[in-house]
Amino acid sequence: RKEVEQDPGPFNVPEGATVAFNCTYSNSASQSFFWYRQDCRKEPKLLMSVYSSGNEDGRFTAQLNRASQYISLLIRDSKLSDSATYLCVVPYPMRFGAGTRLTVKP
């Protein structure tokens, strides 16, 4: 089993849709988790940190299930600007998932 596995995607959704990504991890000792987004040919940028059961920031919700060792990212009312690759990160050391590509269409 890979240390961090993500839905491969791509996800193609219309504007306004709700979309969810899952990420499973193997290191049961990890206490914190992160979601980064990466636009094409750009650097990754921190989207959300997850230190307990979950976190919510506007249209974005991250949830953690320690028993099943997965975290999810939910995007509500998706915008064209949400189109990017979303990377799940499990420390330490920092292990990045392969990323899930999202395209939001008009």
Partner 1 sequence: DAGVIQSPRHEVTEMGQEVTLRCKPISGHDYLFWYRQTMMRGLELLIYFNNNVPIDDSGMPEDRFSAKMPNASFSTLKIQPSEPRDSAVYFCASSLAGGPGEQYFGPGTRLTVT
Which residues in this chain contact partner 1 in the complex, by CB under 8 A?
32-34, 42-46, 49, 87, 89, 91-99
Q: Which is nearer to partner 1, 5 or 13 (CB)?
A: 5
Q: Which is nearer to partner 1, 45 or 105 (CB)?
A: 45
Give the list of residues 6+ apart from residue 59 with CB closer than 8 angstroms, or none.
75, 76, 77, 78
Tell me whether the omega of the peptide bond preceding residue 44 falls within 30 degrees of 0, making it cis. no
Q: How far is the CB of 45 from partner 1 (least distance, A)?
A: 7
Q: Which is nearer to partner 1, 56 or 77 (CB)?
A: 56
DSSP 83: -
68, two tokens:
């099943």
| 24 alpha carbon, distance to own chain's centre | 11
Q: How far is the CB of 86 from partner 1 (least distance, A)?
A: 12
